[in-house]
Amino acid sequence: MGGTMEKTADVIAGVPVARLETIRAREAAAYAAARPRTKAALAGGTAAWLDGVPMHWMTDWPMPFPMLVARARKARLSDLDGQRIDDFCLGDTGSMFGHSPAPVARAIRRQARDGLTYMLPTEAALEVGRLLVERFGDFRWQIATTATDANRFALRVARAVTGRPKVLVFNGCYHGTVDEAMVALHAGQTVARPGLTGQVADLTRTAVAVEFNDLAGVEAALAAGDVAAILTEPVMTNSCMVLPEPGFHDGLRALSRKFGALLIIDETHTISSGLGGYTAVHGLDPDIFVAGKCVAGGMPTAIWGLRDHVAKRFAAYNATRAAGHSGMGTTLSANPMQFACLRATLAEVMTPETYAHMEAGAARLEAGMAAAISRHGAPWHVVRVGARVEFICAPGPLRNGSEAEAAHQPAVEGVVHTCLLNRGCLIAPFHNMMLVSPVTSMKQIDRLIAAFDATLALLFGPDEAQ
Ligand SMILES: Cc1ncc(COP(=O)(O)O)c(C=O)c1O
């Protein structure tokens, strides 16, 4: 059975807890011992920040204290203590094309001479529009600053043109801090996710959660006739990694048409799939397309586009809308720096050659990790979508968010992360995600495979391997 594994008190993900604790303590000490300057700097410099860090998730990393980054080049970071780390987290996709790609860095230097924001388009914007169509398809595009914003605006359009209130999302999804996506499925009921800060609105009035890969569940939810849009990633990348089963996307498309709901595909992570994202590589046909994070090479930028038929319905809606705030757009969005970076990324970075290198490297990483898992007899598995690879500390494949939740093993994953970091490799903190960029070398990939193999030897090898 995919993904479910017994979580007992003395063994987690196949690892005895006592052994895990020994390794955890030793690796945490090794991390700290290698970073005396960082530790001293943090001791004197965190009081001004809420919880000691400028963004709360910086404390979610598994190491005993944050790494202070001194610089990032290509696919490598250096920290305050001079430790050089191969970066497979890549800003959780923001730097998927490598840190400061040269064409983007040049565009930033050029644009910095001509102003940073003025609420008017530039000539580059016109070219960006053409490039967006060329790269992602025939949509009517808009720019936002974050993928969260892009999703929010896409949902407003979907509600406006359908006149319906609800959004269908998949259990375990993440689409940024979008309210409607902050629901889960518990015992067949849509509920607000526990832990939401300051939540007062009843999210179950505006959202319905269904399991991924469950077309019957989707049909039942859509049949109520109140769903404006399905908002989904093509592959669930935010709760372990869950691949669509054959026919799932065709079924979603057919059902959304049958019941008059729009299909919004959020490619913010699956843009790793290849040129044009999963949509182009696998021939999906969304009504609205969203992507963010790396689309402008790391400059905060997101894109969202409407198919012509949606754009026409939106124009008709706007013709009747009362004057006033639309609830869409933010002051710094669509600024000239974003156009400059989008143009550089779309034209010079996001190329077939780039993706070919990423794909080959990620396939090598996937194969190397799968071989290590099998060599050590770990009850784990590896999944990949293009340049994005994830190991999961449970058997697979996983079919949906509930199975992914059961497979998620934070205690083991935290130890693995620190072990890898102590061997010079950084992976994404919240789950076990690794990206291969166009500037990630095969040597770096082999070092990560070796570090993973050494970590599995600690966790699963004979006692003396520790
Ligand atoms: C699929 C997906 N969509 C949207 C977002 C939101 O991106 P941002 O945090 O840049 O707004 C994320 C963030 O991880 C994501 O994974």
Tens place of pLDDT for every residue, the chain, 466 residues? 334 444 556 999 999 999 999 999 999 999 999 999 999 999 888 889 998 888 888 888 899 999 999 999 999 999 999 999 999 999 999 999 999 999 999 999 999 999 999 999 999 999 999 999 999 999 999 999 999 999 999 999 999 999 999 999 999 999 999 999 999 999 999 999 999 999 999 999 999 999 999 999 999 999 999 999 999 999 999 989 999 999 999 999 999 999 999 999 999 999 999 999 999 999 999 999 999 999 999 999 999 999 999 999 999 999 999 999 999 999 999 999 999 999 999 999 999 999 999 999 999 999 999 999 999 999 999 999 999 999 999 999 999 999 999 999 999 999 999 999 999 999 998 789 999 999 999 999 999 999 999 999 999 998 755 6
Pull the structure tokens for residue 297.
């090479």
Spell out the residues 6+ positions from residue 79 whose beta carbon is closer than 8 angstroms to its own: 35, 38, 67, 68, 69, 70, 85
* Distance of CA 339 from the midpoint of ligand 1 (Å): 20
pTM for the whole thing?
A: 0.96
Nearest CA owner, ligand 1 atom 15:
175
Q: What would the two tokens of residue 254 be?
A: 């057919």
Query: Bridge-partner residues for 79, per DSSP?
Result: 69
> Which residue has the CA at smallest separation from atom 9 of ligand 1?
176
Pocket test for ligand 1, best of 90, 148, 242, 435 (most atoms within 8 A of CB): 148
- DSSP per-residue letters across 372-419: HHHHHT-S-EEEEETTEEEEESS-S---SHHHHHHH--HHHHHHHHHH
Residue of 149, 174, 290, 338 with the most ligand 1 atoms within 8 Å of its CB, for mutation: 174
**Degrees to nearest 5, angle at CA 55 with 407 and 179:** 65
Whose alpha carbon is nearest atom 3 of ligand 1?
175
Contact 201, 183 (CB under 8 A): no
Q: Are 151 and 176 in contact (CB under 8 A)?
A: yes
Q: Among 269, 289, 295, 431, name the best residue to mutate to test ligand 1's pocket (greatest count of ligand atoms within 8 A of Cβ).
A: 269
Distance 268 CA to ligand 1 centre (A): 6
For 55-107, how does the pLDDT look when each residue is reduced to its tens digit (9 = 90+)?
888 888 899 999 999 999 999 999 999 999 999 999 999 999 999 999 999 99
pLDDT, position 287: 99
Cβ atoms < 10 Å from Cβ of 59: 12
CA-CA distance, 198 to 206, in Å (whole number)? Answer: 17
Nearest one of 231, 235, 308 to 262, comparing CA atoms? 231
User: For strand 166-170 and strand 227-232, is the pairing parallel, antiparallel, or unpaired?
Assistant: parallel
Q: In the structure, which protein residues have their CB atom closer than 6 angstroms to any atom of ligand 1?
A: 146-148, 151, 174-176, 233, 238, 266, 268-269, 292-293
Q: pLDDT by residue (tens digit) across 131-146?
A: 999 999 999 999 999 9
Q: Classify 53 as helix, strand or coil.
A: coil
Under 8 Å between Cβ of 445 and 75: no
Closest to 418 (Cα-Cα) out of 28, 84, 65: 28
Atom 7 (ligand 1): residue with closest C-alpha? 147
Using the 8-state DSSP alphabet, how is residue 150 labeled?
H
How far, in Å, from the CA of 274 to the mean position of ligand 1?
18
